Structures are given as structure tokens and as C-alpha cells.
Amino acid sequence: MNARRAWTCLLATLLVASPGRTQSPEAAPAATSASAAAAAAAPARATQPTAIVVLGAGGETPYEETFAKQAGLWKDGAVRGGARLVFIGEEAAVEGAPDDLTRLKTALAAEARGGTEPLWLVLLGHGTFDGRVAKFNLRGPDLTATELALDLQPFTRPLVIINAASASAPFMNLLKGPDRIVVTSTRSGYQQNYARFGLYLAEAIADPRGDLDKDGQTSVLEAYISAAQSVAEFYKTEARLATEHALLDDNGDGRGTPADWFRGVRAVRRPAEGVALDGTRAHQLHLLPSAAERALSAEVRVKRDEIEREIALLRESKDRMLIDEYYRQLEAKFIELSKLYQAAERGT
């Protein structure tokens, strides 16, 4: 066994046995067995999007009601968007039945690892952070950021991970990666008050009013910007100090970009020179795609997304290029994109 695998196994063992969990001695082997069986039966490549919506422990009634409302909006958008829906946290707790953490692990294990269709993971509820470990609160054992990172490690398909809980920021750095969009309600684990961002995001994700570029669909990026603006407006109207600041990461650096760094759907500020801008990938994925988007084949969408990312990188390089060369390359990319759409319309 190589050193990396040994450390991974040791970490997984420590996570299962970590203090403060309410699992019985029999629970961990049962959960592992269920996940292993689900993984063995999982297809290699996804043929449709999947949305796993997780309703966490609400605590007080007002929170339970608002989290349930958020879950309903996500469920509705996923179904309308043609995604396969997996919902965790709605079932009444039954003694002897798998807890929500086990259900989540089993659901993830059953998902195809590869393919071009995205997997959406949406966490709705409360979160905690003790200075070392960030958790999403479930009924029964909580979900740690490290645990989730291990569960998602095998995936190469596009992932959209929404942690709408308080104290959610530490999840971003652990879940970052290629072709992953990670959205958190906070910019710090110490922002631990109830996060309003989750409700605004749930309302915006399938709302045509959030469609900033008027292409008939609301992207992850557009919903994020809309929700963050609504949060800022709330605190301004109430004359209260904001206790949450959402972040979005889609370039894999784990830094995240605040919504007010965007003008329209393009980032106009960056945290450091030489760091790629966030936003391009997040603007390419939609929970509720338009009819035109659905009409495109997976192959065309993949190629289209690749060209759009090349255009975004080219725009970022504009200040370092001769202006004539910049426009020559930009024109070539737009011609390539136009030809792709024309071929798709002809069915060739």
C-alpha cells in the first residue's frame, strides 16, 4: 500500500471513529457496506443530471419551515430541469433505519463518477465550525467537510456543490477541484449566524428574472449574484451589520469570489495577479436549462463550453497582448463558436 493510500485509509478510519458522533458501533460497518454495494452497482458515466438535495436539522420551527421551503424550490427546479432527484432529510426518523449521513453516503456512492452530466449537491440547514472542523448539521451524525471531500474524491463529472448553511466557508477549500463549482453562504467559518443566502439562492436558481444575459435560462453564477445582492439589500434595509458574505469558486483555487466583484456575468476583480477569474464555468451550468440548451447534444455542449472558456482566458490576457493580435484570436474563436452552432442546427 503506497503512502497516499495509507494516509487516506487512516483519515477515513479516524473520521468514522471521531468523538461526538452518535453512531452505534454497528452503524459504521453498515454504512460502509451500503456504500460499497451502491458503488459496485453505479454506472461508469452519467446519462442525465442528478440533484441530491439534503435537508439538515432545522432545530427551531421557523428554521425548519424556511429550510423546507428552500428544499421545495430546489426539488421543483430539479424536476422541471430533467434532473434525477434524490431527497434526503424529509423522511420521519425510524429506529433501526439508516440515518441521514448514511443515506447521503449511499446516494453519492450510487452515482456515476464520470460523464458530462452534472451532479448537484445542495446542503440546506445549519452549519458549525469549532476552529478546526466544519460541519453541516444533520439529524443524527453530522457531515464534516473532510468526510465529504473523501466521498467526492472519485468524481470526474461536473459537480455543483451548494452549501447554504452558516459557517460553510471551510467546505470550499476542501471541495475545490477541476470542473467543480462550489458556493458557500459565508466567507469564514466564524460567520455562524443563520444565513439568509440559502433562501434567496433557492428562489433565484430557476427564476427567469435572474437571467442577466437574457439567454432564456438562469445559470449558477446568475443565481449566485442575484441571491448575494438580495442578502446585501436585506441588511442595508434593516440597517444591520451583515453577518454573511457568500463566495463562489469554479476555477479550483479554493479562494472564492464575492458577488460584488462581478459586473454582469464577468468578474472584474481578482484576488491576486495571475490567478484565474471565477465565474466562467458557473455560467455554463443551469438547474433549469432552456429549450435551446436541451436541444444541444452533450458533445456540442462540451465543445461549446470549451470554446467559451478559451474566450474567457483570452479576454483575461487582453492587457498583455498586442491589440491587433487579441482581436484576431477573439474573432477566430467567435467564428469557431458560430460554426459549431450552425453544424448543430443542421444536425451534422
Tens-digit pLDDT profile for the chain (348 aa)? Answer: 344 334 333 333 333 333 333 344 444 555 566 777 777 667 778 899 999 999 999 888 899 999 999 999 999 999 999 999 999 998 776 777 899 999 999 999 999 999 999 999 999 999 999 999 999 999 999 999 999 999 999 999 999 999 999 999 999 999 999 999 999 999 999 999 999 999 999 999 999 999 999 999 999 999 999 999 999 999 999 999 999 999 999 999 999 999 999 998 988 887 776 677 899 999 999 999 999 999 999 999 999 999 999 999 899 888 889 999 999 999 999 999 999 999 988 876
CATH topology of domain 42-290: Rossmann fold (3.40.50)
CA distance 107 to 89: 12
CA distance 145 to 187: 15
Domain boundaries, the chain: 42-290, 296-348
Which of 17, 26, 54, 246 minimizes the C-alpha distance to 139?
54
Q: CB-based contacts of 309: which residues, under 8 Å, 6+ apart?
A: 280, 281
Task: Note the pLDDT of residue 92.
Answer: 72
Instruction: Enumerate long-range contacts of 31-38, CB under 8 Å, 24 or more apart.
Output: 31/98, 31/101, 31/102, 31/105, 31/106, 34/98, 34/102, 34/105, 34/106, 34/109, 35/105, 35/106, 35/108, 35/109, 36/109, 38/106, 38/107, 38/109, 38/110
**In 10 A of CB 17, how many CB atoms?**
11
Burial pattern 204-232, b for ≥16 Cβ within 10 A else e, equals: bbbbeebbbeeeebbbbbbbbbbbbebbb
Task: Note the pLDDT of residue 64.
Answer: 92
CA distance 119 to 182: 12
Q: What is the largest CA-CA distance in the chain?
A: 70
Strand partners, 143: 136
Task: Note the pLDDT of residue 18.
Answer: 35
pTM greater than 0.75 (yes/no):
yes
Task: Note the pLDDT of residue 31.
Answer: 58
CA distance 54 to 124: 6
CA distance 301 to 310: 14
